Structure 1
Amino acid sequence: MSLAEHNECVVALENLCTQLREYDVVLAPEELANIQALANEMNLKADTWAFLKYPKS
């Protein structure tokens, strides 16, 4: 939250995605779509979030 509050939205989203992956969070399709939309608005590459589509093995 602190990063987003300080206009570090890109870093905040990257950190969120990394944390979701590290804690094996399975996202609902709508949640993944929202993350994708935010990443697209920020002109981030898919490798910032696309790994969330697939559960860790």
Structure 2
Amino acid sequence: MSTERVEPGTGERVAGEAGPVPQSVRARAAVMSGEGRAAFREKRVPGFGAFPRRP
């Protein structure tokens, strides 16, 4: 699996270390939500500190 992380503040994926969130956790969240990048901004992403929607 490629090493990439989501840049805080922009939600953009950038190459590099996975950071505080393991790749598998981000990938699983993206697949389950079906919303991709938007899901990271609105769900449990350390650093954003927002929980606007609960499943």
TM value normalised by structure 1: 0.29
Select the structure that is richer in helix: 1
Higher Rg: 1
Select the structure that is richer in strand: 2
Instruction: Between the two structures, name the one with larger relative contact order (CA 8 Å, sep ≥ 6).
Output: 1
TM value normalised by structure 2: 0.29
